[in-house]
A = this chain, B = another copy of it.
Amino acid sequence: MNGIGIDIGGTNTKIIVINGYGRLLHAERFHTLGENGYGEFIKRLLDRVKRLKNIWEPVSVGIGAAGDVDPQKGLIRFSPNLEKWHNAAITCPLKKLTGLPCTLENDANMAAWGAYVLELKRKYANVLTITLGTGIGGGLILDGKLYHGATGSAGEIGHNKIQPGGERCHCGAQGCLEAYCGSYAIIRDARKAIKSPEAFVKKYAAPGRERLNTICLTRAADRGHKTALRIWRELGANLGRGLADAILLFNPDCVLLTGGVSKAWRHFIGPLKKVFEAQQIATPFQKVRLRVAKNADLGVFGAALLGMELRKK
C-alpha cells in the first residue's frame, strides 16, 4: 500500500511516494513558480501526479502547503509567497484526476504529523511541534490526532507576541516570536553584532557556501565564537518565552523542535530550559519532554502519512 505526499512551498514543490511503513520509494521536486499563476502550476502538478499514479498505484494523496489553507474546502486561501493565488483549489483537481482521497493541510501541520509518527512513534498523546526555519510554524497533536482548529490554522505559535511594539515581523505585525527567532531575524541580529561579517563568513562558513546563515553561525559557535554563542543564547531565551505561553495554554506531553535552525539546539537549549525552570506555574514545565527532530523533510513525509492515515477511516 503506497501513498503520495506533496509539499507546496514558495520556492519548490516536493513530491514523494512512500509505502505503508513510511519508507521512501520515490522523490522528486520542481520549481513552484507561483508568479506564473495557479493555472500553470496545477497543470504541471497534475502531469507529475498522473505519471506517479500509473507507476506506484497509490491509495491516497496528502498535500501540505505554505500559507493560509482551508482543509475542509481543499483550498489555499492565500500565501505570502504565492501572491497571485487566491482560493486556489488543490484537492478538487487532484481528486478528479486520481479518484483517490486527498487531504490538504498547512505545511506546519503536516510537519507536526510527520514528526509525531516518524520521530515520536506516536508515543505521546499531546504534542506541540515547532518548525524553526526562515519563519516559525507550529502544529498540534491532541489525543493522537492532528488538530487543525476551526479554519485550519491552529498552531500559529510564530506570531505569538513576545515583545509588544518590538521587532517588525514578515507578517506585518510587531513583536512576534518569528521576528526574534526566525532565521531571517537571527541573521539580521548577527549582521548587527558581528564586527566584520565578511571575515566571519570566510572563517566559519561551510566550504562552497560562503554566506552568513544559521549554519555558519552554528559552526562559529561550535568553535567558541563569543558573539555567535551570545546570539544563540538570546535565541534560546526568546524561544523559551514563546514556548512558555503555549505550554501554559496547551499543557503538552512533549514539545518537538524541527526545522533547520533546530540543528543548533546544543547552543540554545540551556537558556531555553532556564526560562522553563523559572516559571511560577511549575507542573506543566516539569512534566513536558523537550525533543529535537533528527529527520529532515518532515513536511512532505507528514503529508504522505496523514493522507494514508485518514484514508483508513
**Interfacial residues, chain A to chain B (CB-CB below 8 A):** 68, 77, 124-126, 138, 140, 142-143, 147-157, 159-164, 169, 171-173, 241, 244-246, 248-253, 279-281, 283-284, 287-288
B287 touches A150 (CB 8 A): yes
B68 touches A171 (CB 8 A): no
Contacts of A173 in B (CB 8 A): 279-280
- Supply 9 A–B pairs (Cβ within 8 Å), ascending by A: A140-B249, A150-B251, A151-B283, A153-B283, A159-B280, A159-B281, A160-B248, A160-B249, A169-B280
A283 touches B77 (CB 8 A): yes
Contacts of A151 in B (CB 8 A): 251, 283-284, 287
B251 touches A156 (CB 8 A): yes
Contacts of A253 in B (CB 8 A): 150
Contacts of A142 in B (CB 8 A): 142-143, 147
A149–B155 alpha-carbon span in the complex (Å) = 15
Taking the nearest CB of chain B, how far is it from the CB of A159, in angstroms? 5
A153 touches B284 (CB 8 A): yes
Known: A241-B164, A245-B160, A245-B245. A149 touches B250 (CB 8 A): yes
Nearest residue (CB) in B for A176 is B280
A172–B253 alpha-carbon span in the complex (Å) = 25
A161 touches B244 (CB 8 A): yes
Taking the nearest CB of chain B, how far is it from the CB of A66, in angstroms? 13
B280 touches A150 (CB 8 A): no
A202–B153 alpha-carbon span in the complex (Å) = 49
A150 touches B77 (CB 8 A): no
Known: A164-B163, A241-B161. A284 touches B171 (CB 8 A): no
Nearest residue (CB) in B for A156 is B248
Nearest residue (CB) in B for A160 is B245
A173–B244 alpha-carbon span in the complex (Å) = 12
